[in-house]
Amino acid sequence: MRSKWTKPNKLAWVVAVSTATTALAGDLSDPHLDTLPRTQAEIARIRDVTAPAVDFTQAEVFEEKPAGAATVRVRSNADAFSQPSGNMEFERELDFKLGNGLFKKLWVSSPSSTLASDGLGPLYNARSCQRCHIKDGRGHPPNGPDDSSVSMFLRVSVPGGEAITEIKDYLATQPEPTYGGQLQDFSLPGHAAEYRLDIQYEEIAVTLDDGEFVSLRQPTYRALDLGYGPMQADAMLSPRVAPQMIGLGLLEAIPAADILKGADPNDEDGDGISGRENIVWSREFDKPMLGRFGLKAGSPTVNDQSSAAFNGDIGISTPLYPLAWGDCTEAQEDCQAAPHGDGDSRGQEVDAVGMQLVTFYSRNLAVPARRDVEDPEVLQGKQIFYQTGCISCHTPKFVTHRLVDQLEQSFQLIWPYSDMLLHDMGEGLADNRPEARATGREWRTPPLWGIGLTEQVSGHTQFLHDGRARSLLEAVLWHGGEAADQRDAVVNMSNADRTALFRFLESL
């Protein structure tokens, strides 16, 4: 049986990716969206409304609605990230609820009498989407040996072959021959789990300019108790914590051209910020596309991101990822030969209709309204955020496409505080694992909307790609590379200014 990652297929994929920048330069049509063109008058309005703020004495118009008309009221409990878009028509709420049911579904092994729910694994990280994105919020690393609510795993890859590494502008990697592209720490009876995650932390003392002491924890990750023999010596491991789910459909609806306007890979303007786009191959549209989702912008659409998660996290097949054994490799013969749940009328374990519902649900998890936008301290913190240069990566505003069939995301002024681009964040945050065009030091700027509700929804304040930061201050202090100047500005500012800055972030 041929692997999905055979060398000819891989090479064709890499060749396509290597020419993706040229392809996108002449094709910004966003094939995943059914769009209407903007008029010249609309283009002028958008330019004006998305210009950075200059008056910090009061909130901007519509600032309290970060998702435009899709914004919802803030709930005071852990369900704050689990509401449908505020502008959703009543008739579409049923689809949202059905998608929610599939998102929460606990999958079981095959064969099973519950044919609509069988196909788990045989190797997996979770039994449902909700098990990682608890309450549709942020995951966290283990907080002790008995922590059963962990939503973290390790990606794994090895350098590509000689012919692949010669392809320009693409950092060729491929799944590890035995363990695939992701390490699964759970398995069905009769199968060995792939590994046990071990994290060791070293505390690093940082003293701020005003004398405040902060301790950062530097993690070291190890894959122990490997269930299928040794891993290739040059394997690269990268930790992943599940991100929050809100606003994904709105991020998907930002015109690619508007995102690419912010790219400055050679730092032509000399501001020290050189964000660049990740270009990835779309299985769905069979062409290179702008990467938007994932910690390194490795997926182009919500559907692709969701399908890949079913495949790698749960071992569930979908139309885009049709292999019933998920991430199992040819070296794991028992896994590939095990009973699977794709032998009935569905075709795959989640069929096209199921994926449409999950994608609709994921697109429409609503962004809650801002809090305290007129508070003087919040406005002071906003001014500091802007003047410190944080908006060089955390772009405040975009306007989404006009869409024919996605009214919830159509032509909305949104405030995600992300440019959706890759940035070199320095050696301290480097995972040293490339992903498409992203280097081992680059990460996509994470959207900041909803970040102030993390503790309410997820029960913790652990941030960054691997949850190492135990507060927003720690997260900022880990910034390096292109963001080193902004980090140093926070270190050197007064306690009052720093307090105001984080009051602003907590209002998002």
pLDDT, residue 162, reads: 46
CA distance linking residue 416 with residue 398, whole number of Å: 8
Contact present, 289 and 280 (Cβ < 8 Å): yes
Exposed / middle / buried, residue 452 (Cβ in 10 Å: 0-12, 13-18, 19+): buried
Peptide bond just before 300 cis, omega within 30 deg: no
Average pLDDT over residues 51-68: 97
Q: What is the mean pLDDT of residues 373-390?
A: 98
The mean pLDDT value for 453-471 works out to: 96
For residue 489, tell me if it sits in a domain: yes
User: Does pLDDT of 14 surpass 60?
Assistant: no
Number of domains into which the chain is organized: 1
- List the domain range (segments joined by +) for residue 430: 7-506
pTM above 0.75, yes or no: yes
Structural tokens at position 394: 């955390």
The distance from CA 399 to its chain's CA centroid, rounded to whole angstroms, is 20
Rg from Cα positions in the chain = 22
Q: Residue written as tokens 């924890």?
A: 217
1 in any annotated domain: no
2 in a structural domain: no
Confidence at residue 343, expressed as pLDDT on a 0 to 100 scale = 72
Of all residues in the chain, what percent carry a pLDDT higher than 70? 90
Task: Encode pLDDT of 170-217 as tens digits.
Answer: 677 899 999 999 999 999 999 999 999 999 999 999 999 999 999 999
Per-residue pLDDT of 62-72, as tens digits, reads 999 999 999 99
pLDDT band for 492, please (50, 70, 90 cuts).
Answer: very high
pLDDT per residue as tens digits for the range 102-149: 999 999 999 888 878 899 999 999 999 999 999 999 998 887 666 655
Mean pLDDT, residues 318-322 taken together: 95
Start-to-end CA span in the chain (Å): 50
Residues 6+ away with beta carbon under 8 Å from 257: 28
